[in-house]
Amino acid sequence: MVLLAVTGVAGGVMYWPTGEASGSAGLGGPMAAGAPATVSAVRAGGLGTISPALVRRRVEAAGADAPSSVLGTALGPAAIAVPRLRTVTVAPSIPSYALADGVARPVSATSPEPATATAGTTAAAGTTAAAGTTATAGTTATAGTVATGQAGGLATVEPVAAVRGAASSGLAARWRGYLAGRPGHVSVAMYDAVAGTTAVYTDPAVAGYETASSVKLDILTALVQRAGAAGRLTAREQALARRMISVSDNAAASALWADVGGAPAMNAFFARLGMHATTAGPGGKWGLTRTTGADQLAVLRAIAYPGTLSAAGRATVSGLLRTVIPAQRWGLTGGVPAGVAVELKNGWLPRTSGWVITSLAHVHGAGRDYIMAVYTKNGPSMQAGVTTVQGLSALAWKAARSSTSAG
């Protein structure tokens, strides 16, 4: 038996044994899209639905190198013998799969996918964020949720308190089209203050995106909120914040992470802002905080517009963002004309699964005013991730409404 991690535009994981069943992937070879996968269930009987995303989360939580007994426990109710991991690429549309009598078959598009629980901890990436709920095809997301993608007829719905205003389906569709030709996984969101619309797209195959150094903006925002109406940091905090933001100094970030109260305090901060898909990195590993683009709009809204921080507090944050050195001013500057203000913080992190590239920004000028968050992971290189972010940025700039032309 071989565990095959099946990836594509829609992402996801399913099981496929070596040399069994028509269309078998064999040892990493191609397989026919939609062909059933014959598997050997340790415990047979019953029909249990396991979505690709849910399997992926549970395998990552147990650890890809864990023994079969550990993976089997993590994957209940259908425990699978999985001695080793292989990866293949399949067609982009991957439905959920049901295991019955040792055979995995696609679930009907009208069958609901079960709600998923918070994934466990991983050895390398810390805790994973709670998985979003799902809605069957043809249903409408309730208030406070945003439809973020669709695979196999099941639309992923992400609860996001930070997202306000009408949905911008046109921009989200253009993002999806662009990302179809880009490597890795992406979560992206934008709020257009002029149009009052929000566009969101999150790859449903991924449960949480590492923030890398972009979380330094979250740390700064939490510190400034704690400072109250005055919005002023102490001399020590100001000096550390300047280094943390302008040159992305990690030691300064660690010091301020501790000052603000570490993961418990940051999780409380995220909860106050309604960021239910965000979980602080454990053990001081702030760069492994998990989030989504839509959740991070809450932080950007706090620093860009009145409501959460005082005017003095917002000025403190925006002033520090303007000190980011030129070498780190990539990402959401893509496609934005010279002379337009882009107050941003980026992050980058090489991992064994690929590069994490992130970018947060408030873009305003030439009649436009919007906030945008992009998270990418599993990219083949840093440059590939930067290029993806800059392409999304260019599409957002073109789509943003200008107050000078609004009727």
Give the domain-ending residue among 83, 114, 145.
Answer: 114
Question: Which whole number is the average pLDDT over 197-222?
Answer: 96
Alpha carbons 359 and 348: distance in angstroms, whole number = 9
Whether 165 and 52 share a structural domain: no
Read off φ and ψ for residue 128, nearest 5 degrees.
Answer: -100, 155
Would you say the pTM of this structure is higher than 0.75? no
- Identify the domain containing residue 165 by its residue range: 160-399
Instruction: Clarify whether residues 209 and 290 are in a common domain.
Output: yes
Within 13 A of 385's CA, how many CA atoms are on the CB side?
Answer: 26
Check residue 61 and give its pLDDT: 52
Whether 301 maps to a domain, the answer reads yes
Assign 405 a pLDDT band (cuts: 50, 70, 90). Answer: low
- More confidently predicted of 34 and 261: 261
Higher-pLDDT residue of 249, 110 = 249
Same-domain status, 303 and 177: yes
Averaged over 339-349, what is the pLDDT? 98
Of the pLDDT bands very low, low, confident and very high (cuts 50, 70, 90), residue 167 is: low
Q: Which of 49-58, 92-101, 193-202 has the lowest mean pLDDT?
A: 92-101
pLDDT of residue 403: 87
What was the pLDDT predicted at 207? 87
Specify the higher pLDDT residue, 374 or 207.
374
Q: Is 391 part of a structural domain of the chain?
A: yes
Reading the block at residue 135, the tokens are 């809605």
In a domain, 42, yes or no: yes
Q: Are residues 61 and 174 both part of a single domain?
A: no
Cα 244 to Cα 222: distance, rounded to the nearest angstrom = 14
pLDDT at residue 245 in the model: 98
**Mean pLDDT over all residues of the chain?**
71
Does 189 lie in the same domain as 108? Answer: no
Task: Say yes or no: 244 and 373 in one domain.
Answer: yes
Query: Where does a domain end: 114, 137, 171?
Result: 114
Sheet with 97-100: list strands edge to edge. 37-38, 103-106, 97-100, 48-50
**What is the structure's pLDDT at 404?**
77
pLDDT of residue 271: 98
The whole-number average pLDDT for the span 9-35 is: 31
Give me the mean pLDDT over the 189-217 stretch: 96
Query: What value does the mean pLDDT take over residues 295-309?
Result: 97
Q: How confident is the model at residue 32 (pLDDT cuts 50, 70, 90)?
A: very low
The answer to whether the CB of 266 falls within 8 A of the CB of 163 is: no
Q: Is the pLDDT of residue 10 over 70?
A: no
Instruction: Please check whether residue 260 lies inside any domain of the structure.
Output: yes
Confidence (pLDDT) at 193: 97
Q: What is the CATH number for 229? A: 3.40.710.10
- Percent of the chain at pLDDT above 70? 58
Do 227 and 81 share a structural domain?
no
| 20 belongs to a structural domain | yes
Q: What's the pLDDT tens digit per position in 271-285?
A: 999 999 999 999 999
- Indicate the number of domains in the chain: 2
Cβ 324 vs Cβ 245: under 8 Å: yes
Residue 20 pLDDT greater than 60, yes or no? no
Q: What's residue 173's pLDDT? A: 95
Cα within 13 Å of Cα(67), Cβ side: 1
Residue 54 has pLDDT above 90, yes or no: no
End-to-end CA distance of the chain: 63
> Is a pLDDT exceeding 70 seen at residue 246?
yes
Residue 121 located in a structural domain: no
| Burial (0-12, 13-18, 19+ Cβ within 10 Å), 262 | middle
Q: How far apart are CA 217 and CA 374, in angstroms?
A: 14
Give yes or no for residue 315 having a pLDDT over 80. Answer: yes
Among 59, 86, 114, the domain boundary falls at 114
Are 104 and 16 part of one and the same domain?
yes
Regarding whether 104 and 224 lie in a shared domain, the answer is no
- Residue the block writes with tokens 């209940």: 76
